[in-house]
Structure formats: structure tokens, C-alpha cells
Structure 1
Amino acid sequence: MDDRLVYRLDAFAAIFMGAVLLVWATPLTTLAGWPLPPAFLFGVGLFLVPWAGFNAWVSVQPAVPLRAAWVHLVVDASWVLGSGALLVAYAPGMSGVGVALVAGQAVSVLGVFTLKLMGAARPRLVRG
């Protein structure tokens, strides 16, 4: 498997999710049923747009640069841990849909993290 494929897919997912969060932060906050303001989801959307660009850049390199792979692993792990923290802190007051959305994207990012980790463990990465 081409290690860059997961970065292409992550770029697509990030730009899609970022756009959704930027446009629908308020209704999604209401749907999730948590006390965080819509600005939280809007901020996550703002982060995801350049993150998608970084993923796209990595996906067109001749090989995944090792430093870029490490940045991705740290950010993806932080995302999963942050999602878990949100669930611990807010799940009792969240709607079932909100819990499912946060848990579902956390599991998805964990899968992406695993694929990136497997690629980073292979010795084919360009050092840089």
C-alpha cells in the first residue's frame, strides 16, 4: 500500500469536516447537547482547513517525510485523547447523537493514526 494514500484520505476528510463545522457550528452544538459554545466547533473547523492542506502536501511528496509523519502522529493522538476527554467531561449531558458523533470521529481518527503509524514504522520514509 502507498503510505501517502492515508494522507490523501485524511485531507479529504479534514476539508469536508472543517467546512461542515465552519458552516454548521451552531446547529451541531445544539445537536450534540453539550455546554460548549458554537465557537468551539467553529475553531475546530478553522484548524481543520489548514490541516487538510498539510495532509494534501504530504500526500504528494515522493515519500512521507519523517518529520511530517511525526507531526501527524502527535496531532492525531492528541485529537483522539481530546475527544476522549470531551466524552468524559460532557457525555452525561450530551445527546445520544452528540456522543455518537464525538466517539465515531475519535474511532475514525484512531484508525487513521494506526495507518500512519504503520507507515512511519516502515524504513521507506525520507528523513527530513
Structure 2
Amino acid sequence: MDDRLVYRLDALAAIFMGAVLLVWATLLTTLSGWPLSPAFLLGVGLFLVPWAGFNAWVSVQPAVPLSAARVHLAVDASWVLGSGALLVAYAPRMSGVGVALVVAQAVAVLGVFALKLVGAARLRPARG
């Protein structure tokens, strides 16, 4: 399998989710019962647009740069841990839809993290 494929798919997912959050942050905040301001989701959307670009750049390199893979693993792990922290802090006040959305995207990012981790393991410089 081409390790760059996961970065292509992540780029598509990030630009789609970023656009959705930029356009519908207020609606999604209301629908999910999210107790934070819509500005939080707007900020996440603003982050995802350049993140999509970074993913796209990595996906067209001849090989995934090890330094880029490390950045991706750190950001994806932070995303999953942050999602868990948000659920612990706010799930009791969120709607079922909101909890499901946060859980679904956290599980999706965890899957992407696992695929990137497998690819990154192949990038490690040989020790000898």
C-alpha cells in the first residue's frame, strides 16, 4: 500500500470538515448542544483548511518525509486526546447527536493515526 494514500484521504476529509465548520459552526453548536461558543468550532474549521493543505503536500512527495509523519502523529494524537477531554468535560450537557459527532470524528482520526503510525514505522532510519 502507498503510505501517501492516507494523507490524500486526510486532506479530503480535513478540507470537507473545515468547510462545514466554517459555514455551519453556529448551526452545529446548536444541534449538538455544545456549551462552548460557535467560535470554538469556527477556530477548528480555520485550523483544518491549512491542515488539509499540509496533508495534500505530504501526499504528493516522492515519499512521506519522516519529520512530516511525526508532526501528523502528534497532531492526530492531540486531536483524539482533545476530543476525549471535551467529551469528559461537556458530554453530560451535549445532545446525543453532539456526543455521537465528537465520538465519530475521534474514532475516524484514531483510525487515520493508526494508518499513519504503520507508515511511519517503515520510515524509521535503520539503527545499526
Please report the TM-score for the alignment, with normalisation by the length of structure 2: 0.96
Aligned twin of 1:66: 66
Instruction: Report the equivalent of 1:75.
Output: 75
Name the counterpart of 1:17. Answer: 17
Q: How does 1:12-51 map to 2 (within 5 A)?
A: 12-51=12-51
Identity value in percent: 87
CA–CA separation in structure 2 for the residues paired with 1:124 and 1:84: 29
Task: State the match for 1:3 in structure 2.
Answer: 3
Shift of 1:23: 0.1
Cα root mean square deviation, aligned: 1.0
User: 1:13, 1:31 → 2: CA distance?
Assistant: 21
Q: Is the 8 A contact 2:66 2:123 kept in 1?
A: no
- Aligned match of 1:101: 101
Task: Name the TM-score, length of structure 1 as normaliser.
Answer: 0.96
Give CA deviations for 1:49-95 in whole Å, capped at 9, x if unaligned.
Answer: 00000000000000000000000000000000000000000000100
Structure 1 unpaired stretches of 5+: none
SS in structure 1 opposite 2:78?
Answer: helix
Structure 2: tracts of 5 or more residues without a match: none
* Pair 1:118 & 2:118 matched: yes
Aligned residues: 125
